Amino acid sequence: MHSNKQAFEFFSTMLSKRWIVSLPVILVFIALISGISSLQKDTSSDAFIDPLNPALVANKKIEEVFGLSDPLVIAIVNNTGTGIFTPDSLELVDWVTRTLSKQRNVDPDKIISLATESNIEGDSVGMNVEEFITSTPISNERTSWIKHAIDHFPLYQGLLVSKDHQATIVVAELLDETESSNTYHNIKKLLDDAPLGNGNKLFIAGEGAVSGYLSTYIDNDAKKLNPLAAVIITIILFICFRTLRGIILPNLIVILTAGSTLGAMALFGVDFYVITNGLVVCMIGIAVADSVHIFSQYYTEIASNPSAQRKQIVANTMANVWRPITLTTFTTMAGFLGLAVTSDMPPVIYFGLFGALSVFFAWLFSITILPILLSCLTPKLSKRFLHKSKDTVQRSSFITSVGKAILKRPHVSVWIGAILFLISLVGANQVTVDEERIANFKETEDIFIADKTINSLMDGTYYLDIFIDAKDPEALYQPEILQKIEATQRKLETLPQVGGTTSIVDYIKQMNKAINEDDETYYRIPNNPQLVAQLFLLYFSSGDPTEFEEEIDGERKLALIRANVARNKYSNNKLLVEEMSPWLAKEFSDENVTATLTGRIQVDYEWIDNLAKTNTLSVVVSILAVVIMASLLFKSAVAGFLAFIPVGLSILIIYAVMGISDIWLGVGTSMFASIAIGLGVDFAIHTIDRMKELIANSSKPWAEQLIVLYATTGRALLFNFLAIALGFGVLMTSDVPPLIKFGSLVVISVTTSFIASLAIVPSLVMLFKPKFIYK
């Protein structure tokens, strides 16, 4: 089959000058891989946001001004009926607080608990600021006093102690958020030795623990299952080719491709993000696909000409497959680049850019190193290809029988495809954009249980913050501004998503009440700015100079309103943000004071919202890029359209499955479409290219000629499909929800692309006989 003499000559020359070609390629690989150790992991969710995004900038500012970050929360729960107001429980609070303060990554000055906070109360002569827990053991009398004090300190109800007295929390700020996963585990271990006493239970959650632990959690399970995927792919390769080289060499190409791409990421200082795991899967899929096609052709060549020289066999192989492999490289690269140019989220941009680069690497190694290595080995017949010479093709296997059926009734495939398309269109419309980080953990996981327990008892461990910025120093002593802050708190508290709110106003009101003999009617903002200033002075007569640092700055011009939210779920956050944004715009419209919505809830809302907006555009542009590239390569818009059908259908089916089974379009699932493009385009391009070649080189009836497609290219595509689908399908056995979804996606997308490429595309060609096929 010397369809391309020039290509044959080219590859023959290449094989005769092995070192000249392979040495630079190997050197490039070594240069790239040598820097791989500097590849940094960045699994934070902030990585997904443009660093200049106003919500992120505001969040960094509140971290800087008020010294706040996403905390780790430990709850002491006693639901045996006695509640937490027992000496046992309170001593446990003290123990947990002390233990945390000695923990390396915990800021000892930023722990909030009953053991660190003070009561503010008044009497007939003055105001007392007294720590709730001063020493241990705690007497029954002191316990009753603490209970009474909390019952008369509205700020702490729901925030520090649950309203039903069943729980109290210890909130710890972390010094280095990138270390949060380790800190979570260390603290969890330390708490195993806690003196629990009667009926007390401990739970650890909080955004600091959830976000840090999530990536490690997924990573750990992926680390266990990914090698299994590699083993399964290797087994499939063995079943397909039944030779050692058929297993080792494709794996080598995978290693070269993945190593070079990750090395290039390290070289350019690009971090390894959570979704980069998806890129690794794409790299494996693409590298295996190229190898499978080369090997299928290689064994076909040996079977058809067993006496040929090794170099001649390999050159023949390459002359036949270089074109479809190169075409799929161009189209897949176009798809990935389309993704990169439409996103403004750094991890997605890099997914696109390095995805494209990995496709190039897979191509480079597949058309240089692989044939060179093959040419060094003595050609050996694969038992699987014994009877697959051209003449015997027609009486070949199962796939040929299926092919015959498809070609006999092409309209059936087209109709099934059309019906599937319509059903999927309806299903895909059901997809909802949502994200809840905690939902990525399985429901039996400690952190999941802790999150749900704490958030059902307390005001909430997630925060929506409002950053108040007044024009002049000491402006926050002004009653009008304080009243605006208070009104905003009351507004927030009317929203069902908000458990409670805190601001400096709560302390000012408590101090005003205390200075007025604890008269409840004085639990309000004083009318006199001087009195507000003097209340602060009164408090600081013995208070820590940094006491109100988390609520107000030293100049008294910046303040923070913090709303506690029990669920950090995008759909909840959206309602919250959409309700509060216009409120703040209206209430803080004058130039003397501004209010900015920020905090984890706002930041997460922004980027998921952004993801929702850009996802459709990314998918459309990626597909268009594929279509345009295919049209250019085949010099036909119809060819572009045909290439689009399998990948378009697979994306639509993925969205339909997501819509029907209530899988949200979120952070992890947003990359599904891109992976579908990465893994799916190849099938159609190989099919179209082979059909074109078969029809152009023969005058037989199309149906008869196209049967060869199934026995040759179809067979390679089947191997490719089986390796990827079964290999990554193993992820479905995970009990980590994101990995189950990921595994299912890969199976659905590869299956759809494979079937559509071999059923719908040839059927359409049969029915419409497009010119580009035979010209």
Query: In the complex, which residues of this chain contact another protein (CB under 8 A)?
Result: 64-65, 67, 101-102, 108-109, 125-130, 474, 477, 515, 526, 528-535, 537-538, 540-546, 549, 553-555
Residue 496 or 545 with smaller CB distance to another protein = 545
- CB of residue 60 to another protein, shortest distance in Å: 13
HEC letters along 366-421: HHCHHHHHHHHCCCCCCHHHCCCCHHHHHHCCHHHHHHHHHHHCHHHHHHHHHHHH
Residue 500 CA to residue 523 CA, distance in Å, equals: 17
Sign for the CA dihedral angle at 703, 705, 708, 714 comes to negative
Residue 200 or 596 with smaller CB distance to another protein = 596
Contact 476, 470 (CB under 8 A): yes
Residue 477 or 683 with smaller CB distance to another protein = 477
Residue 351 or 477 with smaller CB distance to another protein = 477
User: In the numeric block, which tokens belong to residue 381?
Assistant: 């017949």
- CB of residue 584 to another protein, shortest distance in Å: 24
Torsion of the alpha carbons at 72, 75, 76 and 82, rounded to the nearest 10: 160
- 619-645: burial string, b at 16+ Cβ within 10 Å, e else: bebbbebbbebbbebbebebbbebbbb
Residue 47 or 129 with smaller CB distance to another protein = 129
- CB of residue 538 to another protein, shortest distance in Å: 6
Contact 247, 238 (CB under 8 A): yes
Contact 280, 675 (CB under 8 A): no
Q: What is the DSSP letter of 760?
A: H
Residue 130 or 590 with smaller CB distance to another protein = 130
- What is the distance, to the nearest Å, from the Cα of residue 338 to the centroid of all Cα atoms in its chain? 19
Residue 54 or 473 with smaller CB distance to another protein = 473
- CB of residue 33 to another protein, shortest distance in Å: 43
- CB of residue 477 to another protein, shortest distance in Å: 6
- CB of residue 645 to another protein, shortest distance in Å: 59
Point out which residues pair with 433 in neighbouring strands: 665
HEC letters along 569-638: EHHHHHHHHHHHHHHHHHHCCCCCEEEEEEHHHHHHHHHHHHHHHHHHHHHHHHHHHHHHHHHHHHCCHH
Residue 209 CA to residue 445 CA, distance in Å, equals: 13
Residue 399 CA to residue 410 CA, distance in Å, equals: 16
Q: CB-side exposure of 495: number of CA atoms within 13 Å?
A: 24
Residue 96 or 535 with smaller CB distance to another protein = 535
The Cα-based distances of 532 to 356, 372, 474, 539, 749 in angstroms read: 61, 82, 10, 11, 64
Residue 6 or 530 with smaller CB distance to another protein = 530
- CB of residue 71 to another protein, shortest distance in Å: 18
Contact 598, 59 (CB under 8 A): yes
Residue 216 or 534 with smaller CB distance to another protein = 534
- CB of residue 175 to another protein, shortest distance in Å: 11
- CB of residue 526 to another protein, shortest distance in Å: 8
In this structure, are strands 72-77 and 201-205 parallel, antiparallel, or unpaired? Answer: antiparallel
Residue 603 CA to residue 576 CA, distance in Å, equals: 13
Residue 199 or 529 with smaller CB distance to another protein = 529
Residue 458 CA to residue 76 CA, distance in Å, equals: 11
- CB of residue 176 to another protein, shortest distance in Å: 16
Residue 446 CA to residue 185 CA, distance in Å, equals: 11
Contact 748, 651 (CB under 8 A): no
Contact 702, 387 (CB under 8 A): no
- CB of residue 128 to another protein, shortest distance in Å: 4
Contact 442, 455 (CB under 8 A): no
Q: What is the CA radius of gyration of the chain?
A: 32
Residue 64 or 192 with smaller CB distance to another protein = 64
Residue 251 or 534 with smaller CB distance to another protein = 534
- CB of residue 85 to another protein, shortest distance in Å: 23
- CB of residue 119 to another protein, shortest distance in Å: 11
Residue 451 or 550 with smaller CB distance to another protein = 550
- CB of residue 184 to another protein, shortest distance in Å: 21
- CB of residue 109 to another protein, shortest distance in Å: 5
Residue 130 or 151 with smaller CB distance to another protein = 130
Residue 103 CA to residue 205 CA, distance in Å, equals: 16
**Can you tell me whether residue 133 is helix, strand or coil?**
coil
Residue 16 sits at φ, ψ, to 5 deg, of -85, -15
> Using N-to-C axis directions, what is the helix angle for 310-342 and 599-634, rounded to 10°?
140
Q: Nearest Cα to 365, choosing from 269, 288, 423, 427?
A: 288
- CB of residue 539 to another protein, shortest distance in Å: 9
- CB of residue 171 to another protein, shortest distance in Å: 18
Residue 67 or 346 with smaller CB distance to another protein = 67
Residue 138 or 339 with smaller CB distance to another protein = 138
Point out which residues pair with 205 in neighbouring strands: 73
**Can you tell me whether residue 435 is helix, strand or coil?**
coil
